[in-house]
């Protein structure tokens, strides 16, 4: 199994923690609890030979120094914004520039959250422009209704598999064979006792 680290970044209250819960198959809390520094959750995808470790980074500026040290070590950064909040898209540009200054040079995916309560006007176009500027995929989701989450998971898995040449898991026949050998060993052992 191949382990990859993924950081979830963005302005406060854009839905980073809710998204992290969705991606790791937990039900998001409806009450808002501010993340202090960094939170960690992981998920094993046996079919894909992958273990994904998500670092849910606090959006609050007070924790910036801590979050930078994590960003430098991850394989993918998920840049999250709230499609109804211009400030949250603007914040992503600032974050991206700061990460570049600390020599971050990883992969990224831009995510517009809260698609379930899309308003007019909204800032999806600004999100798409930002994603194009940094040459990243752009995906719309709702951590609440789960819309787009499968699409996002597929994008994360495909990005990792393509960029890091992750081999497929051992075929089932090989696993069965291993169980079989173990059984034979048991029988042999029993025979020798007799």
Ligand X SMILES: Nc1nc2c(ncn2[C@@H]2O[C@H](COP(=O)(O)OP(=O)(O)O)[C@@H](O)[C@H]2O)c(=O)[nH]1
DSSP state of 60: S
Binding-residue total with ligand X (CB under 6 A): 19
List strand residue ranges (DSSP E) for 29-170, in order.
Answer: 38-45, 50-57, 76-82, 107-113, 138-140
Q: Which residues inside 31-60 make contact with ligand X, applying CB under 6 A?
A: 32, 35, 59
Binding-residue total with Mg ion (CB under 5 A): 3
**Binding marks (x or -) toward Mg ion, 9..38, rule CB under 5 A?**
-------xx-----------------x---
* In the complex, least distance from residue 55 CB atom to Mg ion, rounded to whole angstroms: 12
DSSP state of 63: G
17 or 88, CB closer to Mg ion? 17
Gap between the Cα atoms of 10 and 87, Å rounded: 11
Q: Looking up tokens 């517009």, which residue turns up?
A: 112
* In the complex, least distance from residue 28 CB atom to ligand X, rounded to whole angstroms: 6
Contact 136/92 with Cβ under 8 angstroms?
no
Gap between the Cα atoms of 91 and 104, Å rounded: 17
Does 114 participate in binding ligand X (rule CB under 6 A)?
yes
14 or 50, CB closer to Mg ion? 14
Distances from the Cα of 132 to the Cαs of 43, 110, 128, in angstroms?
29, 9, 6
Q: Which stretch binds ligand X (CB under 6 A): 13-21, 84-92, 126-134, 162-170?
A: 13-21
Please tell me whether residue 190 adopts helix, strand or coil conformation. Answer: helix
Out of ligand X, Mg ion, none, which partner does residue 22 contact, by CB within 5 to 8 A per kind? Answer: none
Where do contacts with ligand X occur on this chain (CB under 6 A)? Answer: 12-18, 28, 30, 32, 35, 59, 113-114, 116-117, 142-144
Where do contacts with Mg ion occur on this chain (CB under 5 A)? Answer: 16-17, 35
């Amino acid at each position: 199994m191949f382990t990859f680290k993924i950081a979830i970044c963005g302005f406060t209250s854009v839905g980073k923690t809710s998204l992290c819960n969705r991606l790791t198959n937990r039900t998001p809390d409806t009450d808002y609890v501010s993340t202090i520094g960094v939170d960690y959750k992981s998920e094993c995808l046996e079919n894909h030979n992958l273990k994904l470790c998500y670092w849910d980074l606090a959006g609050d500026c007070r924790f910036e120094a801590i979050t930078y040290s994590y960003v430098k070590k991850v394989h993918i950064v998920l840049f999250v914004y709230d499609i109804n909040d211009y400030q949250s898209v603007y914040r992503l540009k600032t974050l991206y520039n700061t990460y570049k200054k600390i020599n971050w040079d990883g992969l990224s995916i831009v995510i517009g959250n809260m698609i379930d309560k899309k308003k007019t006007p909204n800032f999806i176009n600004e999100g798409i422009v930002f994603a194009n500027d940094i040459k990243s995929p752009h995906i719309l989701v709702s951590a609440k209704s789960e819309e787009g989450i499968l699409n996002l998971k597929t994008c994360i898995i495909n990005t990792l598999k393509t960029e890091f040449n992750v081999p497929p898991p051992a075929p089932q026949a090989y696993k069965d064979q291993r169980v079989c050998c173990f059984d034979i060993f048991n029988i042999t052992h029993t025979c020798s006792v007799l």
